[in-house]
Each structure stands twice: as structure tokens, then as C-alpha cells.
Structure 1
């Protein structure tokens, strides 16, 4: 599948909430959305409260349609209490590689 839209997000959890943030993200509904073809969660080795998410979507429209749903809006609202501030987003379109967990 071709990826035409994506981003890399850096999220900082409230102190001590990094594990909870990772667990929350790994249950995100995007993981089961067929238009989301890359959803990787990682974290900083130096600061376990810094979490990274890389997403790749078939189109920007598919991403927008998903995040307009009530399910996605509920996810965003439930995510906020875990975060220490605003997440940082960088434009990134995943091209390929390997992920083994």
C-alpha cells in the first residue's frame, strides 16, 4: 500500500506517566484502521516520559476523516490528561524499512 500522508509526533507525558501513555497509544483505534498503514510507538531511552509516534496514512483525507469521527475525538480527549503539554508534530511520510517488536 502506498503512503501519501504521515507525521512524526513527540509527546511528553506527565512525570511518571510514560508507561501509561505508551499503553494507551498501543490500544489506539488507528491500529485497526485499514487506511493507517504505519503506526509505530517508541520512547526516549534517556527520558521514559518522552514518547514518539510515527503514522503513515494512504491519504491526508483518510487521516482527516478518521480524526473527525467520535471515536477518534474521544481518543484525543482521553489522551490529554496524560500529557505534560502540547505534542510536537513533524511532517514525515514513511517510505519503508523494518519494524520488529
Structure 2
């Protein structure tokens, strides 16, 4: 399946909420979605409250359609409740590699 849309997001959890943010992201409703081809959660070794997500989708439209759903909007609200400030987003389309797990 080809990936034509993706991004990398970095967010800082509220102090001490990094574990909760990671757990929430690892249970994201997009994970089982067939158009979400890549979903990788990482965290900073220096600051456990800094968490990043790399996503790859089959298309921009599939991503937009999924995130317009009530399920996705509820998930975003849960994430935002754990995040301090604005998340940083970078346009990034995954092109290859290997899974670490």
C-alpha cells in the first residue's frame, strides 16, 4: 500500500503526564484503520514528557476523513488535555525503513 500523506508531530505533555500521553497514543483509534499505514510513537530520552508521532496515510483525503469522525475528535480532545502548549507539526511522508518491534 502506498503512502502519499504523512507528518511528524512533537508535543510536550503536561509535567509528569508523558506516560499517560504515550499510553493514549499507543491506543489511538487510527492504528487499526486500513488507511493509516505508519504510526510510530517516540519519546525524548532527555525529557520523558516530550513525545513524538510519525504517521503515514494512503492519502490526505483518507486522513482528513478519519479525523473528521467523532471518534477521532474525541481522541484529539483527550490528547489535548494532556499536552502543554502547541504541538509542532512537520510535513513528512514515510518512505521506508524497518519496524523496531
Common fold by TM > 0.5: yes
Instruction: Output the aligned Cα RMSD.
Output: 0.5
Partner of 1:7: 7
TM-score, normalization: structure 1? 0.98
TM-score, normalization: structure 2? 0.98
Provide the rounded CA distance (Å) in 2 between the counterparts of 1:9 and 1:22.
13
Partner of 2:82: 82
Over 6 Å off, 4+ runs: none
Matched residues, number: 101
Partner of 2:72: 72
Structure 1: which 5+ residue stretches go unaligned?
A: none
Structure 2: which 5+ residue stretches go unaligned?
A: none
Provide the rounded CA distance (Å) in 1 between the counterparts of 2:33 and 2:98.
20
Question: How big is the shift at 1:60?
Answer: 0.1
